[in-house]
A and B are shown apart, each in its own frame.
Chain A
Amino acid sequence: MNLEMNLPALVVVFPFFSAMLMVAIGVFYKKIVQTMFQVTALITAYFSILLLIKVYESGPIRYFFGNWVPPVGIEYYVDYTNVLFITIIAVLLFVMSIYFPNSVKKEIPESKQYIFYSVTMLFASGLLGITITGDLFNIYVFTEISSITAYALIAIGGTKRSYRASFNYLILGTIGATFIVLGIGYLYMATGTLNLLDMQQRLVPMYNSKIVIVGSVFIIVGLSMKMALFPLHTWLPGAYTHSPSTISAFMSATSTKVMAYLLIRFFYTILTPNFVAKTLPLTEVLFYISLIAILAGSFLALGQKDLKMMFAYSSIGQIGYIVFGTTLINKYGLIGSMYHFLSHAVVKGGLFLVAGIIFYFTTCTKIENLNGLFKRMPFTSFAFLIFALSMVGIPITSGFISKWYLVLGAINSGKWLGVIVILISSLLTAIYFWRIVDRIFFINSDNKVNRVKEPLSMLIPTYTLVAITLYFGIFPVKLIRYTEIAANFLMETIK
């Protein structure tokens, strides 16, 4: 058993089994589970980085489970694109795992904590599975794993609102998943295979087949639902707002993005741009929808009174950016999308961590209570400021680079409308974040409050994310080069 050979499997299987083990051990030794969780996250992150290096050095990997060659067996397919996503998910999970204990102790009843850790790990392994697998049905299975665990994680908060949010997501998520599985069924019917690369080959002569068209539309609709693309977003604000802080942070950073990754997969690997852009005007339609999503998310965020709710609506706009980049069908758009995936995952995750710290001390995330926060929690406030600047897309933060490439992509495709919308949305983002920056730094609090000391275990992860967003804002070249390789590799299917 060679570690390096089996990396693609390990990245998913290790956290998966570890999650199972956590329940078994947790029944007897509750205290160990938290450490297990962190160690598992660390090892998974380590695996993912090894995998990233391996793919970077020697190209895409096709890993056949049990050496059964597809279409018979299941394949894990790792190329430049998804290994990046896998690394981001795994590394973020590790960074946030340091933050978990304090927040979990505060928000989750003690008897449920070990379950909570276990389910979170299961959720993460589901996301990793979706990203890595090269088999369509497997994608569906992992989607269900991550969704079902997500319903549980949202509801674990135990308030009326969190039940309602969880139920809401349950219904809509199930509808979305059903769409996806129906679409997969249609494609399977047409091609007789579930393997991604195999299907890509077999689909080429069938682009005019009605089954294929119906199948792909089903899948796109299902994905839009799962990634909360406006107007199918209604489940998201509640789910992010009423779940425990740690879950809001991790979910907002990864879950909808993974669905956006699937969209890239479908567009570029399975269906190929020749089909989605020429045969069906799918990209054209999604282009406009993404513009609406970008604007709607930003406008809705403007009116929110709760910090987490505002972040959630802003996520709806941000997912629009990623979709926007993929619909441009050019290199720059893809680079922008991938870069934004990283940037937004880090920044939005970080913002929810900040909200978590605020909640930890004040048990409230209402915006009106933020006056003079700087005096109470200077470190948290400063982290918020950097994240806010990155959300707006100010130079030297990673948010600027992704917007630069999205705009570049739009100009290259001659879509000036897209340019205008992205810039307007940046300004709207500036407005709804600056409102809060003003409150935190410049408006004095009515009642005198003492300085609180944020625990290091919460500050370190937050500041790691601050460092990441600044690093990729100031020294973006390596990552851009890498995403360029990934984008070129995806674009090869055009020829």
Chain B
Amino acid sequence: MTEVVNSSIPLIAVIIPLFITLPILLTKNNPNIRDFFSVAGAFTTFLVVFNIYLKVKNGEILEFQLIEFIPGLVLKFKVDAFGVFFALMASFLWFVTTFYSIGYMRGNKEKNQTRFFVFFAISMFAAISAAFSGNLITLYLFYEILTFATYPLVAHKQTKEAIQGARRYLSYLLFTSVMFFLPALIYIYTTIGNLDFTLGGVLNSTNNVDKSVLGIMLLLFVFGSAKAAVMPFHLWLPSAMVAPTPVSALLHAVAVVKTGVFVIVRVFVYIYGIDFLKDVFTTNLVTIFAAFTIIVASMVALRQDNIKARLAYSTISQLSYIVLSVSLLSITGAIGAIMHIVAHGFAKITLFFWAGAVYVANHKTKVSELNGIAKYMPYSMAAFTVGALSMIGFPPTAGFISKWFIANGAVEAGKAWVIGILVISALLNAGYFVPIFINAYLKPAQNAHEEHLHEAPLIMLVPIIVTSILTFAIFIYPDMFLNLAKIALGIGG
């Protein structure tokens, strides 16, 4: 029932973010007009992606060939349900984040705001292009562009600390993608000669290929896509927290890190194929690495006093949920993986928004400084509560749905021990979020002058509220994303 249609709409969707950098640069002397272009660009991008979503929902697959890159290897967009799933989330959150960024950057009186918005748009161009990529080489291309486009955002403050963090960020991502991902990609290309994403994989067992080598390549893919932050290649993410909070929120909780897991899911489901992987021994190793990351990153998060560092380690842990559940090799597990992309996306962006709001309004960066803050920031704290509950996996929040599928997937795959991991991790999540509640709601404010505390500006508050409401909404009405996930995996929809 799916049909492939040639269409240039995907191209339009990715051109817009690239194109608006021009008016942003030209109007750099007039911040209001400049920021208007950011908002308008994000909004039109979202509209176009939504338009694509309507088509894909009805069983179309949009294809657009860019150029023949290397003889026999074409750069192309091919938007299937999974691609539009990711693009929809990214472009919508970009729209929301733009308002928030304007509030944050102005509220903080940051320098070089034009550069910030330009590279923000370029990063989104890369992320949406990655979502639309029709084969592995195109995906790799935009993966690398994303790395470089986010570098100026991480180094934004240009202090020694920011530059060091940015360097570490770049070196981790570049090292892994060049040393692991690229050779694995070239190996697959030389053995199969086809890198197109195909449901069920391009490596059929009939091909006479050495499965042990392919197994090693699978590990290279998983670690090569270090944006997914599977341990031991996770340290870049805490380093990237030197960036302004909107960057941490959209890029290091949604666009960049999700591109990492997106790549891994693509490789598992659309290059290797779930059935084929059942004979590849290293999938178990991937499961173990992911499980290890989930637990250890949560334990590290417990000990972080800096809010953003705590959230970063929580992200590392949550990303591995996705890697873990796709490595279970069951359809339900794969649905869980895809659903967790969006569930974690909305919840984590809410948490980062909250962290940024606390910083802009009251200049607090540490958990221990939050005493009694709920009284002064009631709306932000309410949003935080929703996000944290979703992280832990409480109903009625989005996090419950994805964890439900992951647990079912584990049973389906006959790996019930994974449920144990989920439970321990939920407890640990609670362990590092509950103290924040206690500090904020129950403890009295420390000093007398704390009475100056106040709520964040409205332009930041609205995005927080929107994302937190959506975290609910996804629980109540998951069908939109769930159907896409099912179409993506070729079941029903």
A interface residue numbers (CB < 8 A to B)? 389, 393-396, 401, 404, 407-408, 411-412, 419, 423-424, 426-427, 430-431, 434, 438, 441-444, 474-477, 480-481, 484
CB within 8 Å of A: which B145-201 residues: 145, 148, 152, 155, 158, 162-163, 166-167, 170-171, 174-175, 178-179, 182-183, 186-187, 189-190
Kindly list chain A residues whose C-beta atoms are within 8 Å of the C-beta of B179: 423-424, 427
Is B275 close to A, CB under 8 A? no
CB B376 to nearest CB in A, in angstroms, measures 36
Nearest first, the 6 A-B pairs at minimum CB distance are A395-B141, A477-B68, A442-B155, A442-B158, A423-B179, A442-B163
Is B491 close to A, CB under 8 A? no
Q: How many angstroms between the C-alpha atoms of A394 and B70 in the bound complex?
A: 15
CB A253 to nearest CB in B, in angstroms, measures 24
Is B477 close to A, CB under 8 A? no
Is B492 close to A, CB under 8 A? no
Is B67 close to A, CB under 8 A? yes
One of A401, A427, A434, A441 near B70 (C-beta < 8 A): A401
CB B50 to nearest CB in A, in angstroms, measures 29
Is B71 close to A, CB under 8 A? yes
Q: Indicate if the CB atoms of A412 and B190 lie closer than 8 Å.
A: yes
Is B233 close to A, CB under 8 A? no
The residue among A395, A411, A419, A438 with the most chain B CB atoms within 10 A of its own CB is A395
Q: How many angstroms between the C-alpha atoms of A434 and B175 in the bound complex?
A: 13
Q: How many angstroms between the C-alpha atoms of A419 and B178 in the bound complex?
A: 11
CB within 8 Å of A: which B49-81 residues: 67-71
Q: Indicate if the CB atoms of A443 and B158 lie closer than 8 Å.
A: yes
Given the interface pairs A408-B190, A423-B178, A427-B174, the reply to whether A395 lies near B145 with Cβ below 8 Å is yes
Q: Indicate if the CB atoms of A444 and B158 lie closer than 8 Å.
A: yes
The 25 listed contacts between A and B (C-beta, < 8 Å) are A394-B148, A395-B141, A396-B145, A404-B186, A407-B186, A408-B190, A411-B183, A411-B187, A419-B183, A423-B179, A424-B179, A430-B170, A434-B170, A438-B167, A441-B152, A442-B152, A442-B162, A444-B158, A474-B67, A475-B67, A477-B68, A477-B69, A477-B70, A480-B70, A480-B71
Kindly list chain B residues whose C-beta atoms are within 8 Å of the C-beta of A474: 67
Q: How many angstroms between the C-alpha atoms of A400 and B145 in the bound complex?
A: 13
Task: Count residues on chain B whose CB falls below 8 Å from chain A CBs.
Answer: 29
Is B144 close to A, CB under 8 A? yes
Given the interface pairs A395-B144, A475-B67, A477-B71, the reply to whether A407 lies near B183 with Cβ below 8 Å is yes
Q: How many angstroms between the C-alpha atoms of A189 and B413 in the bound complex?
A: 75
One of A404, A408, A430 near B174 (C-beta < 8 A): A430
CB within 8 Å of A: which B114-157 residues: 140-141, 144-145, 148, 152, 155
Q: How many angstroms between the C-alpha atoms of A395 and B142 in the bound complex?
A: 9
CB B416 to nearest CB in A, in angstroms, measures 39
Interface string of B92-114 (1 = CB under 8 A from A): 00000000000000000000000
Q: Indicate if the CB atoms of A434 and B167 lie closer than 8 Å.
A: yes
Kindly list chain A residues whose C-beta atoms are within 8 Å of the C-beta of B69: 476-477
Extra A-B contacts (13), CB below 8 Å, given A423-B182, A477-B69: A394-B148, A395-B140, A404-B186, A407-B182, A407-B183, A408-B189, A411-B187, A411-B190, A423-B178, A427-B174, A438-B167, A444-B158, A484-B71
Given the interface pairs A395-B140, A395-B144, A444-B158, the reply to whether A481 lies near B71 with Cβ below 8 Å is yes
Kindly list chain A residues whose C-beta atoms are within 8 Å of the C-beta of B67: 474-475, 477
Closest to B180 in A: A423
CB B375 to nearest CB in A, in angstroms, measures 40
Determine the main DSSP class of B at the interface with A. helix
Kindly list chain B residues whose C-beta atoms are within 8 Å of the C-beta of A477: 67-71
Q: Indicate if the CB atoms of B163 and A443 lie closer than 8 Å.
A: yes
Q: How many angstroms between the C-alpha atoms of A484 and B152 in the bound complex?
A: 39
Kindly list chain A residues whose C-beta atoms are within 8 Å of the C-beta of B70: 401, 404, 476-477, 480
Kindly list chain A residues whose C-beta atoms are within 8 Å of the C-beta of B189: 408
Kindly list chain B residues whose C-beta atoms are within 8 Å of the C-beta of A441: 152
Given the interface pairs A423-B178, A430-B174, A444-B158, the reply to whether A411 lies near B186 with Cβ below 8 Å is yes
Q: Indicate if the CB atoms of B144 and A394 lie closer than 8 Å.
A: yes
Kindly list chain B residues whose C-beta atoms are within 8 Å of the C-beta of A395: 140-141, 144-145
CB A145 to nearest CB in B, in angstroms, measures 38
Kindly list chain B residues whose C-beta atoms are within 8 Å of the C-beta of A408: 186, 189-190
CB B72 to nearest CB in A, in angstroms, measures 10
Kindly list chain A residues whose C-beta atoms are within 8 Å of the C-beta of B140: 395
Q: Indicate if the CB atoms of A427 and B175 lie closer than 8 Å.
A: yes
Given the interface pairs A394-B144, A412-B190, the reply to whether A438 lies near B163 with Cβ below 8 Å is yes
Closest to B179 in A: A423
Kindly list chain A residues whose C-beta atoms are within 8 Å of the C-beta of B190: 408, 411-412
CB A452 to nearest CB in B, in angstroms, measures 21
Q: Indicate if the CB atoms of A396 and B178 lie closer than 8 Å.
A: no
Closest to B160 in A: A443
Q: Indicate if the CB atoms of B158 and A426 lie closer than 8 Å.
A: no
Q: How many angstroms between the C-alpha atoms of A401 and B186 in the bound complex?
A: 12
Q: How many angstroms between the C-alpha atoms of A407 and B178 in the bound complex?
A: 12
Q: Indicate if the CB atoms of B167 and A427 lie closer than 8 Å.
A: no
CB A178 to nearest CB in B, in angstroms, measures 41
CB B97 to nearest CB in A, in angstroms, measures 23
Q: How many angstroms between the C-alpha atoms of A356 and B68 in the bound complex?
A: 36
Kindly list chain B residues whose C-beta atoms are within 8 Å of the C-beta of A426: 178
Kindly list chain B residues whose C-beta atoms are within 8 Å of the C-beta of A484: 71
Kindly list chain B residues whose C-beta atoms are within 8 Å of the C-beta of A412: 190
Kindly list chain A residues whose C-beta atoms are within 8 Å of the C-beta of B167: 434, 438
Q: How many angstroms between the C-alpha atoms of A431 and B67 in the bound complex?
A: 31
Q: How many angstroms between the C-alpha atoms of A438 and B160 in the bound complex?
A: 11
CB B170 to nearest CB in A, in angstroms, measures 7
Q: How many angstroms between the C-alpha atoms of A412 and B189 in the bound complex?
A: 11
Q: How many angstroms between the C-alpha atoms of A484 and B178 in the bound complex?
A: 25
Kindly list chain B residues whose C-beta atoms are within 8 Å of the C-beta of A480: 70-71
Kindly list chain B residues whose C-beta atoms are within 8 Å of the C-beta of A444: 158
Q: How many angstroms between the C-alpha atoms of A408 and B152 in the bound complex?
A: 32
Kindly list chain B residues whose C-beta atoms are within 8 Å of the C-beta of A431: 171
Q: How many angstroms between the C-alpha atoms of A411 and B163 in the bound complex?
A: 37
CB A211 to nearest CB in B, in angstroms, measures 41
Kindly list chain A residues whose C-beta atoms are within 8 Å of the C-beta of B170: 430, 434
CB within 8 Å of A: which B408-441 residues: none
CB B398 to nearest CB in A, in angstroms, measures 35
Kindly list chain A residues whose C-beta atoms are within 8 Å of the C-beta of B178: 393, 423, 426-427, 430
CB A411 to nearest CB in B, in angstroms, measures 6
Closest to A438 in B: B163
Kindly list chain A residues whose C-beta atoms are within 8 Å of the C-beta of B71: 477, 480-481, 484
Q: How many angstroms between the C-alpha atoms of A480 and B190 in the bound complex?
A: 17
CB B362 to nearest CB in A, in angstroms, measures 29
Q: How many angstroms between the C-alpha atoms of A424 and B70 in the bound complex?
A: 23
CB B239 to nearest CB in A, in angstroms, measures 15
Kindly list chain A residues whose C-beta atoms are within 8 Å of the C-beta of B175: 427
The residue among A412, A443, A477 with the most chain B CB atoms within 10 A of its own CB is A477
Q: How many angstroms between the C-alpha atoms of A389 and B190 in the bound complex?
A: 25
Q: Indicate if the CB atoms of A396 and B183 lie closer than 8 Å.
A: no
CB B242 to nearest CB in A, in angstroms, measures 12
CB B24 to nearest CB in A, in angstroms, measures 17
Kindly list chain A residues whose C-beta atoms are within 8 Å of the C-beta of B171: 430-431
Kindly list chain A residues whose C-beta atoms are within 8 Å of the C-beta of B145: 395-396
Q: How many angstroms between the C-alpha atoms of A385 and B69 in the bound complex?
A: 22
Closest to B115 in A: A441
Kindly list chain A residues whose C-beta atoms are within 8 Å of the C-beta of B163: 438, 442-443
Q: Indicate if the CB atoms of A423 and B141 lie closer than 8 Å.
A: no
Q: How many angstroms between the C-alpha atoms of A443 and B167 in the bound complex?
A: 13
CB A68 to nearest CB in B, in angstroms, measures 41
